[in-house]
Amino acid sequence: MGFALGLMRGANAAVVGILGAALYHPVFTSAILGPQEFALALTGFLLLSVWKLPAWAVVIILAAGGILITL
């Protein structure tokens, strides 16, 4: 059981690494152009992970933030 659990944890870590790399290059490097965008992305992460807001609420908040950044 311990060996199989170790294999599953290793596979999960590999998948997380691949997804992180896939999101970093096309998404992060083309969307985060300055400190304002980085702050907006960090805010969205905190709203989802720390404060556990529903995804639809975070989308509305970040859309409003994006509009404010462009003005």
Q: What is the pTM of this model?
A: 0.67
- At 21 the pLDDT is 85
Distance of alpha carbon 7 from alpha carbon 26, whole angstroms = 30
Distance of alpha carbon 30 from alpha carbon 59, whole angstroms = 19
- At 1 the pLDDT is 61
Contact 58, 64 (CB under 8 A): no
Chain length of the chain: 71
The DSSP code sequence of 3-24 is HHHHHHHHHHHHHHHHHHHHHI
- At 35 the pLDDT is 95
Question: Residues of the chain whose pLDDT is less than 50?
Answer: none
